[in-house]
């Protein structure tokens, strides 16, 4: 993922109950399942709008997903679909939460 | 200053020229009216507040910068409500009152909070970035718009200016019959 300069998204584990966490969820139907989603280590950043450091991601970062194919899955290519929910802010303002479709191509050999 | 370049201006064009040349570029536009529900389910219209200076704040519980301003607005409401001033908060939370009520308690919000809608956001130019705040004069016109966090002092100066502006009438309250002024 690549965020616009000056913006951050809340991490998957924000340290305020009212903040919206980053969430990647993969569809469970199909021959391939996501068995683990790993987020990077969040940054704890100070912003003028918070009296405590905020758990965020900025700039470029990757979310890793470990996939597992069903034992009877046919070989070949496919696509895993999922949804990414995020909420972004800069120092002075916030954008509404968004949920976007994500698609991950894979190959079973 | 209004200035006419020539006395040979055709009469038919004069009114338009006068309008173009003399109209203040800062002319205020009417704040779009709306009807939204408050935390008790009661309908509230912006027009209920005609005669008051209104600070109309679009916000959400998940918006960090919004939480900086809210205590200021609580203070403004307490200090200036008897001078014909009211804060109206419009929450843009998708999760509705379930998310907003605990937050109102958490921050001790003493002004009226309404649940926003896409329609009201659209009427106000498509409010996307939060906080977005409109300062509305006693005639129901938008005097200032702030997108994003600005300083408390700036808000206070602007609202004091609106409260004391010519023709404002000092302690004027809302029109008879209006339902304005009840806190949250």
- Residue B26 has a pLDDT of 66
Is B28 a domain residue?
A: no
Is B180 a domain residue?
A: no
- Residue A92 has a pLDDT of 96
Residue of A nearest to B69 (CA): A49
- Helices B97-107 and B64-80: angle between axes, nearest 10 degrees: 60
Listed as ranges, residues in chain A with pLDDT below 50 are: none
Interface size A-B, in CB pairs within 8 Å, comes to: 54
Which range of residues forms the domain containing residue B96?
A: 33-163
Tokens of B29: 């536009």
* ipTM reported for the complex surpasses 0.90: no
Residue of B nearest to A52 (CA): B64
CA distances from A76 to A29, A69, A73, A105, A108 (A): 17, 11, 9, 11, 5
Q: B116 vs chain A: nearest CA distance in angstroms?
A: 13
Tokens of A108: 């079973």
Q: Could you give the CA distance from residue B31 to residue B174 in angstroms, rounded to a whole number?
A: 16
Mean pLDDT of B65-92: 97
Closest to A20 (Cβ–Cβ): which among B62, B131, B132?
Answer: B62
Residue of A nearest to B67 (CA): A49
Is A13 a domain residue?
A: yes
Structural contact between residues B52 and B173, judged by C-beta atoms closer than 8 angstroms: yes
* Confidence check: pLDDT of B170 > 50: no
Is B62 a domain residue?
A: yes
Closest CA to B163 of B171, B155, B174: B171
Q: What is the dihedral of CA B16, B18, B20, B21, to 10 degrees?
A: 150
CATH of the domain at B99: 3.40.30.10
Structural contact between residues A7 and A18, judged by C-beta atoms closer than 8 angstroms: no
* Confidence check: pLDDT of B2 > 60: no
From chain B, the residues in CB contact with A92 under 8 A are 65, 148-149
- Give the total number of structural domains in chain A: 1
Is B168 a domain residue?
A: no
Residue of A nearest to B147 (CA): A93
- Residue B63 has a pLDDT of 97
Q: In this complex, do B63 and A92 lie within 8 Å of one another by their Cβ atoms?
A: no
Handedness of CA A37, A41, A47, A52 (dihedral sign): positive
Which range of residues forms the domain containing residue A14?
A: 8-108
From chain B, the residues in CB contact with A18 under 8 A are 61-62, 67, 99, 103
- Residue B78 has a pLDDT of 97
Is B177 a domain residue?
A: no
Q: Could you give the CA distance from residue A26 to residue A9 in angstroms, rounded to a whole number?
A: 20
Closest to B92 (Cβ–Cβ): which among A50, A92, A96?
Answer: A96
């Amino acid at each position: 993922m690549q965020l616009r300069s000056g913006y951050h998204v809340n991490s998957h584990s924000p340290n305020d109950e009212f903040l919206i966490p980053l969430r990647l969820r993969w569809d469970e139907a199909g021959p391939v399942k996501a068995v683990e989603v790993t987020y990077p280590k969040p940054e704890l950043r100070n912003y003028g709008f918070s009296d405590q450091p905020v758990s965020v991601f900025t700039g470029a970062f990757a979310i890793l997903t470990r996939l597992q194919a069903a034992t009877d899955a046919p070989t070949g290519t496919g696509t895993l679909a999922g949804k990414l929910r995020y909420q972004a802010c800069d120092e002075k303002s916030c954008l509404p939460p968004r949920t976007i479709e994500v698609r991950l191509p894979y190959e079973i050999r | 200053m209004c200035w006419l370049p020539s006395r040979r201006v055709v009469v038919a064009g004069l009114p338009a020229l006068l309008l173009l040349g003399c109209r203040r570029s800062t002319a205020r536009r009417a704040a779009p009216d709306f009807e939204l529900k408050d935390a008790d389910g009661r309908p509230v219209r912006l027009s209920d507040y005609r005669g008051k200076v209104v600070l109309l704040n679009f916000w959400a519980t998940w918006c960090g910068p919004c939480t900086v301003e809210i205590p200021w607005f609580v203070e403004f409401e307490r200090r200036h409500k008897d001078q014909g001033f009211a804060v109206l908060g419009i929450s843009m939370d998708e999760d509705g009152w379930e998310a907003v009520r605990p937050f109102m308690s958490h921050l001790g919000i003493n002004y009226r909070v309404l649940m926003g809608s896409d329609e009201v956001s659209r009427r106000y130019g498509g409010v996307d970035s939060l906080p977005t705040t409109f300062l509305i004069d006693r005639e129901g016109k938008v005097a200032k718009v702030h997108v994003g966090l600005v300083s408390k002092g700036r808000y206070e100066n602007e609202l004091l200016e609106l409260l004391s502006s010519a023709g404002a009438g000092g302690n004027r309250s809302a029109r008879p019959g209006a339902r304005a002024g009840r806190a949250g």
